[in-house]
Amino acid sequence: MEKRVLKLAIISDLHCHPKRKTGEGNDESYLLTDKLRVPSNDHPVDDLLEKINNNKIDKVDLTLCPGDFTDKANQQGFISGWGFSLEIHRALNSKEIIATVGNHDVDVYAQNSNYTLDVAKGIKRGFPIEDETAQDIFWSKGCVIIERDIYRILLINSTHFHYNKESSKSGKVGDAMIEYIEKHLSSNDDDKIKIAMSHHHPIDHSILNLGEEDKIKNADSLLNVLGKYKFDLFIHGHKHHPLIRYHNTTLHGHRLPIFASGSFSSHSNLMFTSVRNSFHLITLQKDKICKGEIDSWTFFPNSGWGQPDDESGFPSYAGFGCEKNIEDLAESIDNIMKSEGKMTWNDLVKQVPDLIHLLPDEGKNLEKLLSDKQIHMDKSLRAKPTQVYNLAKLYS
């Protein structure tokens, strides 16, 4: 099978709700249902649409939404949050939008219904997926597997067992759900791009004291199945702290990239993590091994979406899938640059393609190793350099 390329947009954790009145508590999101769209650069959706329409953000094949469209099960927030997501999906010329349910989308406090999923099921407008047969499977089994020509999406409802406040403290996948997933995958074991998506995280995310008790129960069993069938990426929301890392599945030793997508518009993450809001495009390329590039935008109130070269958000440029160790990469670059005073970043990437598939921490380590060899870039790897310099050659 020839190389497959899939471009994704990730919109996660909008926490949309109407502006709260006195006595109702503080607003939790920059994205309010009754917020005017003027000025555009103070509205997360309107500013993003403007940048998409001005071709500052590329078009995609597929839009994925890992949940929490609303905040505290606010019904209007859910309706508007999904509506905003559809606007972005259409502006991106995305062929399909696929979503899952977050803990804030489930009415565990019985504010609007006597059944926790009534509101989520009543959103309609293609939520969480357009195909009605797939919808029925998702609501009944807690997951559904979506098959397309070059990709497969395992869509997980990690809130499937949220029947009340007590049961909503963590995500969960049941044994019957895992059995259903394995049965399907065993008869559809091929080389498509394979992505799993849930709202809750399948591995600990205790960075910045964000806690461990709310991850998916029974996740190890799920991850072992995903490792067995060599899934290429796991995407989740919930933590409001964007992060990409690898998880080695226990039984099969498969290295699975896990991407925590952060929050599109909730500002509670600033209080807990000091990390701003994120919107991501992921480009996946698969030729036996799947590798990814992540382009991310950070939202600043009254300024809109940008790609800063600082630590206020997830790196503007990152990746995953590099197969070489960082020392070997540094050695390869050193050998290439020995006869060069400077080189464009794009020319260097042509000779060392794995440079665009580094985790953020791998990028930092590479920068340090190159600095020791007097090789520097005009911008950090997190901001996508344009030039690379060999200072030893330039000043010899």
The full DSSP string for 102-130 is -GGGS-TT-SS-SSTTHHHHH--TT-S-S
Residue 393 pLDDT class (50, 70, 90 cuts): confident
Least confident of 106-110, 201-205, 216-220: 106-110
Place of tokens 């709310």: 214
List strands edge to edge, sheet with 375-377.
342-344, 387-390, 375-377
Q: Pick from 289, 320, 351: which residue ends a domain?
A: 320
Q: What is the pLDDT of residues 342-366, one digit of tens each?
A: 999 999 999 999 999 999 999 999 9
Per-residue pLDDT tens over the stretch 117-144: 888 999 999 999 999 999 999 999 999 9
Q: Do 281 and 168 share a structural domain?
A: yes
283 and 331 together in one domain: no
Tokens read off for 202:
């399948």
Angle at CA 101, nearest 5°, toward 96 and 102? 130
Question: Residues 262, 154: one domain?
Answer: yes
Domain count, the chain: 2
360 and 224 assigned to the same domain = no
Q: Give SS3 for 329.
A: helix
Q: Does one domain contain both 137 and 172?
A: yes
Last-in-domain residue among 320, 335, 356: 320
Instruction: Judge if 232 and 283 occupy the same domain.
Output: yes
- Is the domain of 378 the same as that of 312? no
User: Cα–Cα distance between 241 and 223 in angstroms, integer?
Assistant: 21
The percentage of the chain sitting over the pLDDT mark of 90, rounded to a whole number, equals 80
CATH code of residue 381: 1.10.10
Among 257, 266, 185, 174, which Cα is nearest to 216's?
174
pLDDT at 110 over 90: no
Q: Report DSSP state, residue 386.
A: S
**Residues 100, 186: one domain?**
yes
Tens digits of per-residue pLDDT, 306-355? Answer: 999 887 779 999 999 999 999 999 999 999 999 888 999 999 999 999 99
Instruction: Looking at the structure, tell me whether residues 255 and 334 fall in a common domain.
Output: no
Structure tokens at 120: 């989520």
Domain boundary among 281, 305, 320: 320
The pLDDT value recorded for residue 165 is: 66
This model's pTM is above 0.85: yes
CA distance 144 to 156: 7
Looking at the fold, whether 332 and 314 belong to one and the same domain comes out as no
pLDDT of residue 206: 65
Alpha-carbon distance 187 to 204, whole Å? 31
Task: State whether the Cα torsion 241-20-9-301 is positive or negative.
Answer: negative
Q: Which domain holds residue 380?
A: 326-395
Give the residue-averaged pLDDT of 150-161. 96
Q: Do 71 and 154 fall within a single domain? A: yes
What's the CA gap between 258 and 263, in Å, rounded?
Answer: 16
Q: What is the CATH number of the domain that holds 254?
A: 3.60.21.10
Task: Assess whether 258 and 290 both reside in one domain.
Answer: yes
